[in-house]
Amino acid sequence: MALSDDRLLKVSESALLIVDIQEKFRPVVPAFEAVARNAQTLARGALRLKVPVLVSEQYPKGLGNTAGELLQWLPDNQTYFTKLRFSALGSDPLRQGLEATGRRQVVVAGLETHVCVMQTGLELLAAGYNLFLVTDAVSSRKDPDREAALQRLQRHGAELVTTEMVIFEWLREAGTPEFKELQALVK
């Protein structure tokens, strides 16, 4: 009997949403460097496997632009969706961009877990998307806020995953050129 893989991420059904990993958070979020590094790994994997990547920026005039370590790996024509609402779906262009992908699995990384990431996640779930929250690519200034948000999102149906889980689920098998390239990212 073949096992069902309905719960696994699929390249053909996934989109990556990077929420507000912006420069002004660097000094106040203790795990900023790890979050940015893991989001970079996710972005590189997504781009290599042709998974759409959407990036939001909360009030960039005040919080700065997307972190430099992410910018260097995103394409020159990457759209950065600016927003004032905490939920990324509050940006009509981002919401429309996500809808246009036709993808129903949304992999989310970003800051801060208990504000913009959580509100985005709850709205994604309410809109019928399958949410895969990357626990090692989200953070908050205070760990209790992060943990409470993760628990709340999971209670409402979010799948909690790690960067490495996402990459290997997207890959599905070893021995391909993509495997060799992306495996090096998670080692």
Strand-pair category, 105-111 with 14-19? parallel
Q: Which of the following is catalytic: 61, 116, 143, 187?
A: 116
Q: How buried is residue 45: exposed, middle or buried, by Cβ count under 10 Å (0-12/13-18/19+)?
A: buried
Round to whole Å and give the CA distance between 63 and 27.
Answer: 12
| Closest listed residue to residue 67, CA positions, set 26, 118, 127, 99 | 26
| Closest listed residue to residue 31, CA positions, set 113, 140, 109, 118 | 140
Amino acid found at 5? D
- Name the β-bridge partners of 121: none
Q: Is 20 an annotated catalytic residue?
A: yes
Q: Is 83 an annotated catalytic residue?
A: yes
Q: Which of the following is catalytic: 5, 20, 24, 136?
A: 20
Round to whole Å and give the CA distance between 13 and 179.
Answer: 19
Q: Is 143 an annotated catalytic residue?
A: no
Q: How buried is residue 51: exposed, middle or buried, by Cβ count under 10 Å (0-12/13-18/19+)?
A: buried
Q: Which of the following is catalytic: 50, 83, 92, 180?
A: 83
Q: Which positions are catalytic?
A: 20, 83, 116
